[in-house]
Amino acid sequence: MNKTVLITGATSGIGFEFAKLFAKNGFNLIITGRNSDILSEMKAKLSSAYNIKVFSFNYDLSDLNSVTKLYDETKKLNLKIDILINNAGAGFNGGFLDVPLENHISTINLNITALTKLTYLIANDMKLCNSGKILNVASTGAYQPGPYIGVYYATKSYVLSLTQALRQELKDTNITVSALCPGATKTKFAKRAGKNDLSSAMSPYEVALIGYNGLAKNKAIITPGFMNKIAIFFSKLIPLTLSARLVMKIQLSVIKKKNEY
């Protein structure tokens, strides 16, 4: 019997590549996203290509009622979720006081509250059968303050911290909790953030593949790419004030280039 994986934010980038990888390896899919056309196309192509079941739900999870609706839909269909991939995320760069407050709240709702709520609901189901895997997509930004992208970095710090806490709480069960911490990745999200020079960035496929393999090996923290590992290593060594200055310099450069286009 095929196992089932729920992937949020599955219509593009890393989430899209996760969906293809799990489908290729025989998993049934529950995919969510905000683009109904892409969801329908994915459902048709992946179910046909790999002879699996694909359930798609067009929800914006920054609307917290959608998290409950998504969970209720899976229960109505009697779907047992073996793996949860909390991939959906959003963020805005710019000065904290310059970005509209509703954008900050939306980022927190999606990156923190929706992830927490969905994890709570599904982990409780996993606890009943003492089996399951959870992968939370954080970021290399989780390790440092992020001036001019502060709310996004702060939400990813939360994701990493929660993941590590839950992993310890569940260490004597058959439920594993892991964090994926990618750096710059060639995604629409990165381009919207103004990162136009992504020549050295990893592809979404590379990140998803490393995440998939790391999850299978029950790694606690999965960091794709040697340079990202180095960046995290040094971020732990330098004072937070210096780290904040370095990030600010990078972000101001990104914003300047974004405004030039």
pLDDT of the residue at 257: 79
Instruction: Give the chain's domains with CATH numbers.
Output: 4-260 (3.40.50.720)
pLDDT of the residue at 200: 72
pLDDT along the chain (261 residues), means of 10: 96 98 99 98 98 98 97 98 98 96 98 99 98 98 96 98 99 98 84 58 96 98 96 93 95 82 51
Note the helical H segments in the chain.
Answer: 13-24, 36-50, 64-76, 101-108, 115-129, 150-169, 188-192, 204-216, 226-237, 240-260
Contacts of 129 (CB under 8 A, 6+ apart): 80
pLDDT of the residue at 74: 98
pLDDT of the residue at 198: 61
pLDDT of the residue at 134: 99
Using DSSP's 3-state secondary structure scheme, residue 33 falls into strand
pLDDT of the residue at 258: 72
CA distance 106 to 218: 31
pLDDT of the residue at 1: 76
pLDDT of the residue at 260: 61
Tokens representing residue 205 in the block: 């496929």
Tokens representing residue 239 in the block: 């004072």
Print the SS3 string covering 229-251. Answer: HHHHHHHHHCCHHHHHHHHHHHH
